[in-house]
């Protein structure tokens, strides 16, 4: 312990490791070391001149007393905070819920803070591209031609290569779709965890979480995180911090990998099976089913129903510029389902033939609104006008506690150059950047009000849209 105090006053962490090398540190000692480091940092920031720069020997005894008191105080605060399940912020400050930065782009202070944080984590920052429509000046707009990885040195010292690859796949749209993105994220994290080694004086449960933070910032910069990814990350962080400290590193890693596998298996794969089972009751022979875009869950349901022998035909509605419906069309046609294909502007023409509408969701918000690919709310609106039932299929891990009433406050803006099209050799919007008052808007998501949706099919059963907060509450109780 004398050596510890030495290092505290000399402010040299490397000195600590040199001195204590080879000794098995107890948990208490590790905690104390960490606290001392924190105190050092605090002392530097606050320029606290009250720290006595006294020689070690004289102040050894009273310093230990002070330390004990301080430690006891901090323990008390930490336990009280744990019981409230609060954030690990500075002690004795109120917990303020922070707005995510990606919807505050028009606030220069927020941008400065974000830039500082990224600099600290050594992650390059992605810049906005093109003229942004004034209604959406609070959101980010990136260009696909300028991925973040161009500003990184490869191989990167800070970011694990699996994460770099994942970030590139996100920003180029190679991995798209809420389930696909979550599964890819979890697989990348499995890779990170198996490659991870704990530094000698750190605990796995804390250090791993800190290591994941810059990765998450990097992925966020490549493409804003989806609600399902957010929930998956929360789950992983919770599992990591619940690792008991006496676990050896290999056991801890095995446990974490197992947890991730369980999550994917339960929340995504088995949930899809359960949803398919309940949905098949809703599909009758002779049905004409309308689907929009490419939802992996809805495609799974239709393929299952077809295998079980239901006779129906499918109308796939698609929209520019993503044209994801063509992918869904390929998958369904491969199974042998008879399909029709139209663009979203023809949906009023085709709806009189339709008996049901199946929609996928990106997230279900706590006020019952369904956040999904842009165009979904339009289809639900027209279906309602023609009195066609609308069913939304969504796994419970996509439920999120945010609330939103319109598609403006929180959305994603995709590359505006996607709207440019060449028809008959003429590209009307080729030089849109030069024209001063012309803006292109490429929204990714929109929210559907709950009165357009008749039923939500989840792995917990079939619920109305307004029961989402009930499910969230039940889930939170379970996790406690």
Partner 1 sequence: HKITSSCKHEATLSSTNQKAACSRSPGTMPGPYRETDLTEKVEAFLSDLKRGGSGTGPLRGSAETARETTALLRRITAQVRWSSAGDLMEVIRKEGRRMSAAQPSETTVGNMIRRVLKIIREEYARSRGSSEEADQQESLHKLLTSGGLSEENFRQYFTALKANVIEAINELLTELEGTTDNIAMQALEHIHSNEVIMTIGRSRTVEAFLKDAARKRKFHVIVAECAPFCQGHEMATSLSKDGIETTVITDAAIFAVMSRVNKVIIGTQTVLANGGLRAVNGTHTLALAAKHHSTPLIVCAPMFKLSPQFPNEEDTFHKFVSPHEVLPFTEGEILSKVNVHCPVFDYVPPELITLFISNIGGHAPSYIYRLMSELYHPEDHEL
CA dihedral 458, 464, 466, 468 (to 10 degrees): -10
Of 228 and 442, nearer to partner 1 (C-beta) is 442
Q: In sequence order, what are the residues at sequence separation of 6 or more whose Cβ sits closer than 8 angstroms to the Cβ of residue 215? A: 159, 160, 163, 192
Of 429 and 463, nearer to partner 1 (C-beta) is 429
User: What are phi and psi for residue 319, nearest 5 degrees?
Assistant: -145, 155
Minimum Å gap between C-beta 341 and partner 1 is 5
What is the C-alpha to C-alpha distance for residues 356 and 338, in angstroms, rounded to an integer? Answer: 16
CB 439 within 8 A of CB 368: no
Of 17 and 340, nearer to partner 1 (C-beta) is 340
Which token pair is 59? 């102040």
Minimum Å gap between C-beta 68 and partner 1 is 60
The number of CA neighbours under 13 Å toward the Cβ of 407 is 20
Minimum Å gap between C-beta 382 and partner 1 is 6
Minimum Å gap between C-beta 291 and partner 1 is 14
The number of residues making up the chain comes to: 480
Minimum Å gap between C-beta 261 and partner 1 is 35
Three-class SS of residue 242? coil
Of 216 and 328, nearer to partner 1 (C-beta) is 328
Q: How does strand 445-448 pair with strand 370-373?
A: antiparallel
Of 13 and 439, nearer to partner 1 (C-beta) is 439
Of 242 and 345, nearer to partner 1 (C-beta) is 345
Of 246 and 334, nearer to partner 1 (C-beta) is 334
Minimum Å gap between C-beta 141 and partner 1 is 13
What is the C-alpha to C-alpha distance for residues 377 and 443, in angstroms, rounded to an integer? Answer: 13
Of 8 and 452, nearer to partner 1 (C-beta) is 452
CB 344 within 8 A of CB 375: yes
Minimum Å gap between C-beta 251 and partner 1 is 49
CB 15 within 8 A of CB 186: no
Minimum Å gap between C-beta 293 and partner 1 is 9
Minimum Å gap between C-beta 440 and partner 1 is 5
The string of DSSP letters for 45-106 reads HHT-TTS----HHHHHHHHHHHHHHHHHHHHHHHHHHHHHT----STTS---PPPPGGG-TT
How many Å is the Cα radius of gyration of the chain? 27
Three-class SS of residue 251? helix
What is the C-alpha to C-alpha distance for residues 51 and 135, in angstroms, rounded to an integer? Answer: 52
Of 84 and 437, nearer to partner 1 (C-beta) is 437
Binding region for partner 1 (CB under 8 A): 133-135, 319-321, 326, 329-330, 333, 338-350, 373-375, 377-378, 381-382, 385, 406-408, 419, 421, 423, 428-429, 432, 435-443, 446-447
């Amino acid at each position: 312990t004398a050596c510890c105090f030495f290092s505290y006053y000399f402010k040299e962490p490397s000195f600590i490791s040199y001195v204590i090398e080879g000794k098995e540190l107890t948990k208490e000692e590790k905690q104390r070391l960490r606290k001392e480091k924190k105190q050092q940092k605090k002392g530097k920031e606050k320029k606290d001149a009250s720290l006595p720069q006294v020689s070690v020997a004289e102040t050894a005894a009273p310093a230990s007393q002070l330390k004990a008191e301080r430690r006891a105080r901090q323990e008390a605060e930490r336990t009280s905070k744990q019981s409230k399940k609060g954030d690990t912020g500075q002690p004795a400050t109120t917990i303020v819920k922070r707005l995510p930065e990606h919807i505050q782009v028009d606030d220069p202070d927020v941008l400065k803070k974000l830039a500082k944080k990224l600099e600290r984590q050594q992650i390059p920052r992605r810049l906005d591209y093109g003229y942004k429509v004034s209604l959406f000046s609070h959101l980010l707009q990136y260009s696909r031609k300028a991925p973040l990885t161009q500003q990184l040195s490869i191989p990167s010292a800070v970011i694990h290569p699996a994460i770099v690859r994942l970030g590139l796949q996100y920003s180029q749209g190679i991995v798209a779709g809420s389930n696909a993105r979550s599964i890819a994220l979890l697989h990348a994290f499995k890779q990170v965890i198996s490659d991870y080694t704990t530094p000698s004086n750190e605990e796995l449960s804390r250090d791993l979480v800190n290591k994941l933070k810059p990765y998450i910032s990097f992925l966020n910069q490549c493409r804003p995180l989806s609600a399902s990814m957010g929930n998956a990350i929360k789950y992983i962080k919770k599992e990591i911090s619940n690792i008991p400290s006496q676990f050896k590193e290999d056991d801890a890693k095995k446990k974490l990998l197992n947890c991730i596998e369980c999550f994917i298996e339960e929340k995504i794969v088995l949930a899809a099976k359960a949803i398919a089972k309940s949905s098949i009751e809703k599909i009758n022979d002779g049905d004409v089913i309308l689907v929009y875009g490419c939802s992996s869950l809805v495609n799974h349901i239709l393929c299952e129903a077809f295998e079980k022998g239901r006779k129906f035909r499918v109308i796939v509605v698609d929209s520019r510029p993503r044209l994801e419906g063509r992918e869904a069309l390929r998958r369904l046609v491969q199974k042998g389902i008879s399909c029709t294909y139209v663009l979203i502007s023809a949906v009023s023409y085709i709806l009189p033939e339709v008996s049901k509408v199946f929609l996928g969701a990106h997230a279900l918000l706590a006020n019952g609104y369904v956040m999904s690919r842009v165009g979904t709310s339009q289809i639900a609106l027209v279906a309602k006008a023609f009195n066609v039932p609308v069913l939304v299929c969504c796994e419970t891990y996509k439920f999120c506690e945010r609330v939103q009433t319109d598609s403006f406050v929180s959305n994603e803006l995709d590359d505006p150059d996607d709207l440019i099209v060449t028809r008959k050799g003429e590209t009307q919007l080729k030089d849109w950047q030069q024209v001063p008052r012309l803006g292109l808007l490429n929204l990714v998501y929109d929210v559907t009000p709950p009165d357009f949706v008749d039923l939500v099919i989840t792995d917990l059963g079939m619920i109305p849209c307004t029961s989402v907060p009930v499910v969230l509450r039940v889930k939170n109780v379970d996790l406690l």
